[in-house]
Amino acid sequence: MKLVKVRNPEEMSAFAARRIIEKVSSSSMLSLGLATGGTPVGTYEFLIDDYKKKQTTYRNVFTYNLDEYVGLESSHPNSYHYFMYNHLFNYIDIPSENVNIPNGVASNLKQEAISYEAKIDKIRGVDLQLLGIGENGHIGFNEPGTALNMLTHVLALSESTRQVNARYFNNYDEVPNHAITMGISTILKSKEIILLASGESKAEAVYRMFTEKVGSNCPATVLRNHSNVVVVVDEKAVSKL
């Protein structure tokens, strides 16, 4: 795992955006694994800005999002589907048929998880996966305790994650109890991974990711078993390392 230290969230976002743009511009076809949450927003802003200036095209880019809340329609402002259109897809030329996000309102969620995994297998894992990290060390929605060999699955969110994510909702009770997420094994199929972390609230998780024994107590530790991972952290997020 390569550690890149930067000064602030803006440098972190610029680093990730530069790598994405480099891959998009040099590939005839590219699969991108994308993340939601506050962390990647700055990266998406850089991509939109670059698109406006240089017309970098996303017509041959296929995206695969990490996760989605169960029970939220794609039109719900807190769904990750809505998030992705609102923060990126509405502003670039990616065809909507190239966009893949787990369907959190599928009538058969187990089948949805199997189909989503099959899509990722079809492309033999995404070319470049962008990741954030939860304060408890989760990646995607793989909470502590999740088996490391899990593929895309439905899970119950931990109380702590619901509490942390409640800031995006009107109140805690509105935060869904369940989510559908790529599993740890799914994420490890990616050919290249960039994990971003900024701010003091991530310092403990970053410390644990690098120092704790690889295992499900801190799911992000498994990235140490992958041969092509770059962790980009700002000064606050790396302060405990």
Which residues are known catalytic residues?
67, 136, 138, 143
User: What's the rounded Cα separation, in Å, for the pair 15 and 22?
Assistant: 11
Cβ proximity to ligand GLP: between 132 and 183 the closer is 132
The helix, strand and coil proportions of the chain, stated in percent and rounded to the nearest 5, come to 40, 20, 40
Cβ proximity to ligand GLP: between 165 and 221 the closer is 165
Taking the complex as a whole, the smallest distance from the CB of residue 225 to ligand GLP amounts, in Å, to: 19
Which of the residues 138 through 177 are near ligand GLP (CB under 6 A)? 140-141, 161, 165
Which of the residues 110 through 129 are near ligand GLP (CB under 6 A)? none
Which of the residues 39 through 68 are near ligand GLP (CB under 6 A)? 39, 66-67
Cβ proximity to ligand GLP: between 56 and 168 the closer is 168
Which of the residues 7 through 46 are near ligand GLP (CB under 6 A)? 35-39
User: What's the rounded Cα separation, in Å, for the pair 18 and 167?
Assistant: 29
User: Other CB atoms closer than 10 Å to residue 74's CB: what's the count?
Assistant: 15
Measured from each CB, the residue nearest to ligand GLP is: 132
User: What's the rounded Cα separation, in Å, for the pair 138 and 208?
Assistant: 11
Cβ proximity to ligand GLP: between 134 and 183 the closer is 134
User: What's the rounded Cα separation, in Å, for the pair 231 and 16?
Assistant: 10
Contact between 132 and ligand GLP per CB under 6 A: yes
User: What's the rounded Cα separation, in Å, for the pair 198 and 132?
Assistant: 9
User: What's the rounded Cα separation, in Å, for the pair 198 and 206?
Assistant: 10
Residue numbers at the binding site for ligand GLP (CB under 6 A): 35-39, 66-67, 132-134, 140-141, 161, 165
